[in-house]
Structure 1
Amino acid sequence: MDRTTDVIIIKSIDQLPSVDEIKSISRERALKLIFKGKINKQREQIGQYLDDTLSGFQVLIHKIDPELNIVKLITDKEIEDHQNFFEQCAKDYRRLGKQLVFMLVDKLDLNLNKDFPLDTFNELKRDERQIGKVAEWKYFVHGFHCGFQNIITGQYIEVPLVFGLEFGDLDPYFFVKFILSSPDYHPLSTPLFEEYADGLKIIEKMTALGKFEEIPSNVPGHTGIAVTDREKVEIKSDLDLEKIFVKHIEEIKKKSKFNLWKFLSLKR
């Protein structure tokens, strides 16, 4: 579904739409306020006021162009009304992520570290295997994820690699991008426009409803979100992993103090 944009030229303070007028716009409409003349000096102040006042809206204050962009985000009621759909999307994300990881592991004949998959996938970043193709999927290993895109359907998914064999961590941006790119979900029963902001609201509300829950990560200070109704898998902490790697390195000859993150050459 496309979103239309209403453009309003603002030359004086009295031309600003009221907060109630802005609240009345639908999610299918975006509002662009373009400031002309002296009023532009107040643009950031006005934008900050609207951002503080308009709950459930996203107000973007352009740092260069003289404009504000305002959109209404998905509502809590819409999320609650479609909670079964979002729950199923999360389950599909988890299932497909696991399937693609093991498909790539098999193709490249990798020895998957099941406690810490990123350890295995980091090897691919050092050569031409970082980018490639498996079946009808292009893949790209980067950061804490391996991204996959179907060359036929365009479906897109970012599979997390720092939760052991749990591949269902839901990043707000990646989750909505997965939904929007998945042909089987269309036409959507409720529209999604803002990939990150709508995704964040969905994850927060679904967690409040008990449909999603927080999960630990292998990486210190990092957590994730996964669908609650799933087959739970053990996720080893970074301390558990360090013990495993210390023992492994000591067996190979390293008697000095072992630094796991230096060994893995990870940069957060």
Structure 2
Amino acid sequence: MNRTTDIIIINSVEKIPALDTIRSIPREQTLKLIFEKEVQNLREATGQQLRTNLKGFYVGIHTLEPEIRIAKLITDLEIEENQDFFEQCAKDYRALGEELIDMLVDKLDLKLNKDFPLETFNQLIREQKGNGTIGDWEYNIHGFHCSFDNTKTHQSIEVPLVFGQEFGDLDPYFFSLYIKSTDKYKPLPVDIFEDYADGLRINEKMLALGKFERIISNLGGHFGTVVSDRKKVEIKSNLELEKMYQK
């Protein structure tokens, strides 16, 4: 479903809508406050106050333009009512991630470091083999992930490389894009409009429901989120990896 945008020109303090008015907007509508020159000095403070008082809303303070964009995020109730759907999406994400990594390892005849896959994939970047195609998929290694984009279906997935053999970490932004690009989920049972912010709320609520759980990363201070109902794999911490490499 497409969103509409309601624009309000702010030329005085009185034009700033009340919190109850903002809270009443549906998720299918965004609100854009445009501050005219004489009150542009109010934009930053107004935006920070709105962020404090509007729980469950995205409040974006534009860094260059005199604008604030406000949108209602997916609700706890919507997530709870669709928890089985999000759980299945997470399971599918994990299965597809494993399948694509296996395909890539086989095609490139890699000797995968199963404890720390990022080491193997960083070597590909150094050898200028960090992107290419396997079957209908284009792949691109970047940061802590390898992205895969299907040239026929346009399905998109980012597979994590810093959780050992656990390829199902659900980055909020990437998880939202995966769900929205997967044909078999359409039409979605609940809309996802704000890819990162809605994805973060989905993860947080699913964690609270026990459907998702936290996992450690190979990197110190970094954690992930995965579906709870899965075949668990061992993930070595950065300290364990350091001990291994010192031997």
Q: TM-score under structure 2 normalisation?
A: 0.97
Query: Does the alignment pair 1:182 with 2:210?
Result: no
| Structure 2 partner of 1:138 | 138
CA distance in structure 2 between the partners assigned to 1:236 and 1:41 by the alignment: 50
- SS of the residue aligned with 2:88? helix
For residues 185-228 of structure 1, the C-alpha deviation after alignment (integer angstroms, 9 at most, x for no partner) is: 11111100111100110001100100000111111111111000
Q: Which amino acid aligns with 2:48?
A: Q
CA distance in structure 1 between the partners assigned to 2:246 and 2:88 by the alignment: 40
| Structure 1 partner of 2:201 | 201
For residues 162-204 of structure 1, the C-alpha deviation after alignment (integer angstroms, 9 at most, x for no partner) is: 1111101111111101111111111111100111100110001
| Structure 1 partner of 2:212 | 212
For residues 135-179 of structure 1, the C-alpha deviation after alignment (integer angstroms, 9 at most, x for no partner) is: 100000111111100011111111011111110111111110111
Q: Which amino acid aligns with 2:242?
A: E
Alpha-carbon deviation of 1:245? 2.1
| Structure 2 partner of 1:156 | 156
CA distance in structure 1 between the partners assigned to 2:36 and 2:241 by the alignment: 58
Alpha-carbon deviation of 1:41? 1.5
CA distance in structure 2 between the partners assigned to 1:222 and 1:58 by the alignment: 25
Unmatched segments (≥5 aa) in structure 1: 248-268
CA distance in structure 2 between the partners assigned to 1:239 and 1:32 by the alignment: 47
Q: Which amino acid aligns with 1:45?
A: A
Q: Which amino acid aligns with 1:76?
A: D
| Structure 2 partner of 1:57 | 57
Alpha-carbon deviation of 1:134? 0.5
Pairwise CA RMSD of aligned residues?
Answer: 1.0
Alpha-carbon deviation of 1:25? 0.4
| Structure 2 partner of 1:261 | none
CA distance in structure 1 between the partners assigned to 2:241 and 2:17 by the alignment: 56
Q: Which amino acid aligns with 2:95?
A: R
1:158-173 correspondence to structure 2 within 5 Å: 158-173=158-173
1:1-268 correspondence to structure 2 within 5 Å: 1-247=1-247
Q: Which amino acid aligns with 1:219?
A: L
CA distance in structure 2 between the partners assigned to 1:41 and 1:237 by the alignment: 47
Q: TM-score under structure 1 normalisation?
A: 0.90
CA distance in structure 2 between the partners assigned to 1:40 and 1:221 by the alignment: 39
Query: Mean alpha-carbon deviation: is it higher for 233-242 or for 187-196?
Result: 233-242
Alpha-carbon deviation of 1:97? 0.2
Query: Mean alpha-carbon deviation: is it higher for 12-21 or for 134-143?
Result: 12-21
For the pair shown, the structure with the greater C-alpha radius of gyration is 1
Alpha-carbon deviation of 1:240? 2.1
CA distance in structure 2 between the partners assigned to 1:96 and 1:37 by the alignment: 51
Q: Which amino acid aligns with 1:131?
A: N
CA distance in structure 1 between the partners assigned to 2:239 and 2:70 by the alignment: 45
Q: Which amino acid aligns with 2:175?
A: F
Alpha-carbon deviation of 1:239? 2.2
Alpha-carbon deviation of 1:108? 0.3
